Chains A and B, each alone.
Chain A
Amino acid sequence: AQSVTQLGSHVSVSEGALVLLRCNYSSSVPPYLFWYVQYPNQGLQLLLKYTTGATLVKGINGFEAEFKKSETSFHLTKPSAHMSDAAEYFCAVSVGNQFYFGTGTSLTVIP
């Protein structure tokens, strides 16, 4: 069975501080991994994805994530938070024709 666990439903950081959003997955087959961002009353926007190859992937808006197979993790980071980063972030795993999403982490950026 496939599942995604996001540790911490709410994360607060100061503007300019490091952002770290945690994601662990379980999958019976090698997964494709994704991070999406959702702003209020909007759909989901793809931040970055890991399919094969380099385990450190860079996405839009300065975000990056590292696939660690031994830890079954795909944590999202950004060196310096910006006010515009405040949103809901979803980790997802793709297996076959379906995506499985985590329950999301709400990021608050404190000025």
Chain B
Amino acid sequence: DTGVSQDPRHKITKRGQNVTFRCDPISEHNRLYWYRQTLGQGPEFLTYFQNEAQLEKSRLLSDRFSAERPKGSFSTLEIQRTEQGDSAMYLCASSQKTGAYGYTFGSGTRLTVV
């Protein structure tokens, strides 16, 4: 078990470009979460998958954002037509069963939009 892996660790992109991030959760965890963290703030919930089903989406997840977990294993988060306000750390987490178990977080992908 290598924990939750996120790729890439850092991404610099020009405004208007599309970016895609990948998250590989802990293999036996059926729940996967995406969070966004801006400087000086705590993580904010974006979306949640149970297996391949996307069960919840935050209002923060605008139409430019899309997340998938096609086979219930890894997940991708795509941002289309990036804006400077999208610059943040994007964190992925996974868990077993309910939130009582806590989440295991990846190291995050830091996105900078220039």
Contacts and interface: CB of A to CB of B under 8 A. Distances in A.
B42 A102 contact: yes
Interface string A33-56: 010100001111110010100000
A63 interface: no
A97 B106 contact: no
A46 B102 contact: yes
A42 B99 contact: no
A98 B48 CA distance: 8
Given A42-B108, A43-B108, A34 B102 contact: yes
B26 interface: no
B93 to A, nearest CB: 8
B36 to A, nearest CB: 11
A26 to B, nearest CB: 15
Q: Lowest 6 CB-CB distances: which A-B pairs, in order?
A: A101-B42, A94-B99, A43-B105, A44-B105, A43-B107, A51-B100
Interface of B: 4, 6, 31, 33, 40-45, 48, 50, 55-56, 91, 93, 98-100, 102-108, 110
Given A43-B105, A43-B107, 16 more contacts: A32-B100, A42-B107, A43-B4, A43-B6, A43-B93, A44-B91, A44-B93, A44-B105, A46-B102, A46-B103, A94-B102, A96-B99, A97-B56, A97-B98, A99-B45, A104-B41
25 contacts: A4-B42, A34-B102, A36-B105, A41-B107, A41-B108, A41-B110, A43-B4, A43-B106, A43-B107, A44-B91, A44-B93, A45-B105, A49-B100, A92-B42, A94-B98, A94-B99, A97-B48, A97-B98, A97-B99, A98-B45, A99-B43, A101-B44, A103-B42, A104-B41, A104-B42
